[in-house]
Amino acid sequence: MSRFQNSFKMFAVLTLILSASLQFSGAAIATEKKSQNTNVYHSMGKNDQTKLIQFLYQFTNIYEELKIEKDNDEDIVRWLYDGIHSSNLKFAPELVKEKNKKLFTKDGDFYYTPYPASKVNAFLKRTLGFQLEKRNYYSSDKFLLILYKNNSYYILEPNYGGGEEFTVAQPDYLYSIGNNRFYVKFKKYSFAYDTFEESGLSYKLAFNPKHTWSSKVKAMSYEEKGGFAVVEKVVSGKTFSWRLVRFNGDSNGLTDQQIKELQKK
């Protein structure tokens, strides 16, 4: 074999090695880039998925956008007031009425239920990273919504009946945007309490991940327009909880550019 043929064979081998190396490097970069855009929701266990669903449920009565970092006290107070009445906050262990204190009445027609101020603020801190001051809170038209008295918040009871339906947010997409924050895109499903009672099933089944729903539960649901949320994962030892940063219950979601802007913050 001539020197030229040997040189050519060596060149061919080196070319193949270099090509394979570049292909591997490119694949690694592509894999890394893809991992940054991975939908982590479907890799979560059922218990963690249910935990997120129950957390989002606290805000499904919101249709206008809520930004915790920018909104004023009235927005938070109204969400708290509406959530307690509509049962959206039923999974909050802190929000227990004080049985040893009487209701406060105003003008003989309006009733205010007492809740321990420390418990209310513990709930708000855990859920929103926000706490109320020890004072009264009013609506924009100066109507008393929360009375502060003797270390208790007396929260107005609405003068209309409670909800016969409830709406659950079921995530389709959970995407890390850095700093323990996640972008969640979800669909909403509404249910009537009485359909569960008539079927002999527990309404709590609706809070399980949608892919685990039986055909009966699916048949009870009514799909509504979805929305998105930005949530923060707060780790404490071996456990974690979710904290809301932003919520919109009536949206097609954020654009890629808007998500990139969130990643810069």
pLDDT for 128 beyond 90: yes
C-alpha distance across the termini of the chain, in Å: 64
Residue 210, pLDDT > 80, answer: yes
**In this structure, are residues 82 and 76 in contact, taking their beta carbons and an 8 Å threshold?**
no
C-beta separation of 247 from 62 below 8 A: yes
Q: Which residue has the higher pLDDT, 87 or 251?
A: 251
Does residue 65 carry a pLDDT above 60?
yes
pLDDT tens track for 131-184: 999 999 998 899 999 999 999 999 998 766 556 899 999 999 999 999 999 999
Beta-carbon contacts of residue 263 (< 8 Å; ≥ 6 apart): 177, 178
What pLDDT digit, counting tens, does each position of 181-205 carry? 999 999 999 999 999 989 999 999 9
Tell me what the pLDDT averaged over the chain comes to. 85
Residue 158 is given by DSSP the state: P
Question: What confidence category does residue 26 fall into, taking pLDDT thresholds of 50, 70 and 90?
Answer: very low
Look at residue 214 and tell me whether its pLDDT is greater than 80: yes
- Collapse the DSSP code of 112 into the 3-class scheme (helix H, G, I; strand E, B; otherwise coil) and give the result: strand
